[in-house]
Amino acid sequence: MTALLQVSELDVRHGLLQAVRQVSFELAEGETLALVGANGAGKSTLLRAIAGAHRPAAGRLVFEGRDITAMPAHRRVKAGIALVPEGRRLFPNLSVEENLRVASASGRGGRWSVDEVFEAFPLIAPLRRKRAASLSGGEQQATAIGRALMTNPRLLLLDEVSLGLAPVVVEAVYDSISHLIEAGTTIVLVEQDLTRAMRVADRVACMLEGRIVLEGARGELTREQVTEAYFGLRRQAAPA
């Protein structure tokens, strides 16, 4: 079966800084991949490159068998790729419902509607007329994920879902994400919380200095292995 997403030898730069180095992986439909790693490892840059928000310097991106490497971001949304960026980036003066409806302008048909989003994210269901600027961090995160779902994506990219949120709020947001996973949504998740990432993902890939240094199915990797890769301990322990 052809992978939904194929990333081949991807390089991404910020000026002279190479943030992503020779990254390759495939993602099957319905699979959840967790990208873990310390700050500056290249995780968010990789997500932005997949979404079309950052042009790769080299390499290839194939989505549904189609080369999208040079495709602009707005066309990738219409093709079925949605990014929930770090920081949420809602329209602060619009209500929760208005933020959701703005995203439906992408024109893709599918199961997701305003009512479906409120059902999936009960945290924001009572807040539909509340301005986004007045929401808590968890409410903003749930709204941002709901807005991405309104584009009816084939691939959902989630960047730092739990960042800055209280543990009880993270639990509520992840409950909703778990329902999305159970429904067969294909997800790439950037997460610094190793326990959370290893609990929900089918596969885990650890990035260090722009490269994937460890990758495997959740049941094949131990927390110790991922922690060592996360901090680069295995490389430090290698013979000189």
User: What pLDDT was estimated at residue 240?
Assistant: 37
User: What pLDDT was estimated at residue 111?
Assistant: 87
Alpha-carbon gap, residue 140 to 223, rounded angstroms: 30
Q: Domain ranges for the chain, please list them.
A: 5-236
Taking alpha carbons only, the member of 32, 30, 27 closest to residue 197 is: 32
Alpha-carbon gap, residue 144 to 168, rounded angstroms: 18
Alpha-carbon gap, residue 200 to 32, rounded angstroms: 8
Architecture of the domain delimited by 5-236: 3-Layer(aba) Sandwich (3.40)
Taking alpha carbons only, the member of 80, 73, 69 closest to residue 11 is: 69
Label the pairing between strands 17-27 and 5-14: antiparallel
User: What pLDDT was estimated at residue 28?
Assistant: 96
Residue spans of the chain under pLDDT 50: 236-240
What are the tens digits of pLDDT across the range 119-137? Answer: 999 999 999 999 999 999 9
Alpha-carbon gap, residue 115 to 121, rounded angstroms: 10
